[in-house]
Amino acid sequence: MLAVEAAMRSYAARLGEDPELWGLAGLLHDWDWEIHPTLESHPRDGAPRLRELGCPEPVVQAILAHNEAGTGVAADSRLDFGLRACDEITGLVIAAALVRPTKDVRDVEVRSIQKRWKEKAFAAGVDRTEVERATADFSRVAFGGALALPEHIGQVLSAMQGAAAALDLDGRLARPA
């Protein structure tokens, strides 16, 4: 969730949007997964609690829209599409960092992620088709179709590199205990 927060803040700054609002959507998007661990209940069953706690409605909408299949809530805004586009891709970047001997996201390059893109065993939990679809949708809504997948990977990677310490991807996992 911290990785998605970093990516969302980065895109908010690029698009002239509110980084606090976008960051909050990234940070909270999976907050209820351990409570409601199925695609049918997450985040639908957690949304009322977010509203009770005063979470801004655009954030609740984006969180619901990031699992349209389970919630029936379609993405409608740049925030909604941005959250979808940043969610899955962060897992791929994390995997790319963790397979490096340094375990440091700052040592990862876009080309290394692109090189492993077609390896089904690499970051097997990341749905590449969903990443491509979400990126294309976000590109259409926020960038007039001009955001290509490699550029999106680069934007998310750069955001995560800036948050390396918070993500525990700053090399400390490679150091002996």
Question: Token pair for residue 158?
Answer: 């750069």
57-96 pLDDT, tens digit each: 999 999 999 999 889 999 999 999 999 999 999 999 999 9
pLDDT of residue 38: 86
- As a dihedral over the C-alpha atoms of residue 4, residue 8, residue 11, residue 13, rounded to 10 degrees, the angle is -130
pLDDT given for residue 177 in this prediction: 63
Class of CATH domain 2-174: mainly alpha
Q: Which residues pair with 104 in a beta bridge?
A: 170
Length of the chain: 177
pTM given for the model: 0.95
Whole-number Å distance between alpha carbons of 12 and 112:
26
Positions in the chain whose pLDDT score sits under 50: none
DSSP conformation letters of 11-25:
HHHHHT--HHHHHHH
* DSSP line for 108-121: --HHHHHHHTT-TT
Question: What local confidence, expressed as pLDDT, does residue 42 receive?
Answer: 87
pLDDT at residue 40 in the model: 86
Peptide bond into 56 cis (omega under 30): no
